[in-house]
């Protein structure tokens, strides 16, 4: 099983995986008016210069999945948007902010099937929906809860390609601005 030590080192993002047919479909499930940017640099510059609430969001299309990385964003973990992301099939999303607020959602067919706070997932389950067998094998302790969330999402959605922060600068990365 792939490990993600970088994810537990101060990550502030919302990472979603969906089986939507395209990055355009996934991004517009989050926010229909999303604006595509020419590059990573252009998107970062525009998000920093904007006075409103803006998220630089990156999409990566794999063979069967779209990965959506909202830098300091949260839409993928919002109920309405997540239901749209999981409409065509299995989807997962994990959100974490600087205040140690986190949320993990799993769902399909437009329904949320599992939801919990990965930071507080322990031997007893405090979440909604039936725990998945894969949850028991993961380390939910502080400092490992986000990488465990990514492992659970990959397992649930069937994502075989490991999460990789180098995607941001790859030619297949597409960059968007989401204005909330």
Contacts of 174 (CB under 8 A, 6+ apart): 23, 36, 58, 59, 60, 61
Residue 25: the pLDDT is: 96
On average, the pLDDT of the chain sits at 87
- Per cent of the chain over pLDDT 70 is 97
Mean pLDDT of 159-173: 82
- pLDDT (0 to 100) of residue 2: 58
pLDDT band for position 124 (50/70/90)?
low
The pLDDT of 86-113, averaged and rounded, is 94
Query: In 3D, which of 56, 62, 90 has the Cα closest to residue 163?
Result: 62
Residue-level pLDDT at 26: 96
DSSP readout, 61-77? Answer: E-SS-EEEEEET--GGG
Residue that is written with structure tokens 């389950």 in the block: 125
CB-side neighbour CA atoms (13 Å) of 133: 0
Separation of first and last alpha carbons in the chain: 36
Q: Which SS3 state, helix, strand or coil, does residue 123 take?
A: coil
pLDDT greater than 60 at residue 89: yes
Overall pTM surpassing 0.75 (yes/no): yes
């Amino acid at each position: 099983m792939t490990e993600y030590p970088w994810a537990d080192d101060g990550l502030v993002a919302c990472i979603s995986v969906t089986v939507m047919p395209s990055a355009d479909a996934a991004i517009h499930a989050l926010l229909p008016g999303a604006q595509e940017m020419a590059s990573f640099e252009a998107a970062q510059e525009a998000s920093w210069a904007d006075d409103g609430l803006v998220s630089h969001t990156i999409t990566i299309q794999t063979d069967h999945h779209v990965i959506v990385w909202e830098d300091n964003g949260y839409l993928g973990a919002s109920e309405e948007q997540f239901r749209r992301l999981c409409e065509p099939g299995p989807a997962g999303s994990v959100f974490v902010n600087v205040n140690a607020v986190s949320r993990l959602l799993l769902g399909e067919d437009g329904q949320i099937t599992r939801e919990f706070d990965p930071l507080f997932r322990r031997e007893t389950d405090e979440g909604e929906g039936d725990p998945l067998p894969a949850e028991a094998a993961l380390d939910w302790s502080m400092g490992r809860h986000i990488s465990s969330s990514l492992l659970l999402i990959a397992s649930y959605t069937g994502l075989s390609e490991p999460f990789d922060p180098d995607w941001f600068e790859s030619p297949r990365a597409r960059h968007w601005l989401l204005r909330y």
